[in-house]
Structure 1
Amino acid sequence: MEDIASQIPLLIKGSEKAFSTIYNHYWDRLYYVAYQKLQSQEAAEEIVQEVFLTLWRDRQKLSIHSLSNYLAAMVRHAVYRYVASEKAVKNRELRFEEVQKKNLNLEDELNNKLALKKILELSNQLPLKCRLVFQRNKLQDEAIKDVAKELNISIKTAEAHLSKALKFIRLNIRSFLCLFF
């Protein structure tokens, strides 16, 4: 194989043969270095191709004393840039996911408030005792026996009022939920 150092002046002048010689000589080594750092075949190949593309594109500006050290440094810097870029992408994805979760939570909260508002509106259409049993038991989370005692009715009567209220609300909320969701 030709002396690689003698290929540098030819490369600078635009010799494709010199470039191919350098490419064939260093590609495997550079790939190995990139792969060791990234553990990704695709990323390592991309970085090595980028290094050689940059080498060809900037060939006339080159001032190379040791091609092997120069290419190794190019790969090292390309790996750093790649890792930083991947980290930035992951951070953006995480922030996007957090925003999405917050939006879903806000949407759920809004949906819950709207559904609760509709349930309250429907419960206000119930007869007085029926409404009081439902609102205290289901909306204010009081035990049915406590509600019955406060309203001075039997537990069975309170349960009957609650059943009537639930049936009425279920029937009337279905159409709202179908339109809403």
Structure 2
Amino acid sequence: MNDCTAFDDNELLRLLQQDNASAFQELYDRYWNKLYYIAHKRLKSSQAAEEIVQNVFLTIWRKRGTLRIDEPAPYLAAITRYAVYRYMANEKRRTKKEEIAGSRQTEGVALEMLIDDKLLLEIVKQQANELPEKCRLVFIYNKLEDQPIPEVAERLNISVKTAEAHLTKALRLIRNRLKDHAFFIFSD
């Protein structure tokens, strides 16, 4: 390998076209920091900037036999900027896809929870219908219609203590009956 530090950019490009690895290394050493600065300035990410600059030089090496470059500095800066723009566009698309996938997954979980809630509510209503009349009414008014116990007691013309006793009995009976359904409701 020759020492290429004394050659100008055009001579380095000519040698590069002839598969001279030393010429490539010298171009790399001369321009890596400048290209990294261009990429990092726009991306604010060291890792992404390094990846882009490495890819730029990889492309230069791969196309060394067909390259026709008049001015290496502006050419390398331009392909680095274009690589940055492509990277930013790809990141934007990737982020958008992740957002869409995340919202679909969230919608799916919410729908599944809604179906589970409706199923559970139907089972609870079915179990409530099998309760003795006063227990059933206290349970429905208090738990399903969200009426406070004093209002339920007044509505049914019973004491608050009696309404509370009916509610306690209803909850105990429904819990015991739901144990049979729990496996089906909470299993995947």
User: Could you tell me the TM-score, scaled by structure 1's length?
Assistant: 0.90
Which residue of structure 1 lines up, in the alignment, with residue 139 of structure 2?
134
Match of 2:158 among 140, 153, 175: 153
Equivalent runs, 1:37-76 vs 2, <5 Å? 37-76=42-81
* Structure 2 CA distance for aligned equivalents of residues 159 and 145 of structure 1: 9
Which residue of structure 2 lines up, in the alignment, with residue 92 of structure 1?
97
- How far the C-alpha of 1:96 sits from its partner, in A, is 1.5
Between 169-178 and 72-81, report the one with greater CA deviation: 169-178
- How far the C-alpha of 1:36 sits from its partner, in A, is 1.8
Letter in 1 for 2:40: Y
- How far the C-alpha of 1:177 sits from its partner, in A, is 2.8
Cα offsets for 1:102-137 (capped at 9, x unmatched): 112111111111111111111111112211221122
Letter in 1 for 2:77: A
- Supply the RMSD in Å over aligned alpha carbons: 1.7
Structure 2 residue runs of 5 or longer lacking an equivalent are none
What percentage of residue pairs aligned between the two structures are identical? 46
- How far the C-alpha of 1:153 sits from its partner, in A, is 2.9
User: Could you tell me the TM-score, scaled by structure 2's length?
Assistant: 0.87
Letter in 2 for 1:156: K
Structure 1 residue runs of 5 or longer lacking an equivalent are none
* Structure 2 CA distance for aligned equivalents of residues 152 and 22 of structure 1: 95
* Structure 2 CA distance for aligned equivalents of residues 145 and 36 of structure 1: 68
* Structure 1 CA distance for aligned equivalents of residues 63 and 140 of structure 2: 77
* Structure 1 CA distance for aligned equivalents of residues 183 and 76 of structure 2: 64
Letter in 1 for 2:22: K
Q: Which has the higher helix share?
A: 1
* Structure 2 CA distance for aligned equivalents of residues 48 and 152 of structure 1: 82
Which residue of structure 2 lines up, in the alignment, with residue 118 of structure 1?
123
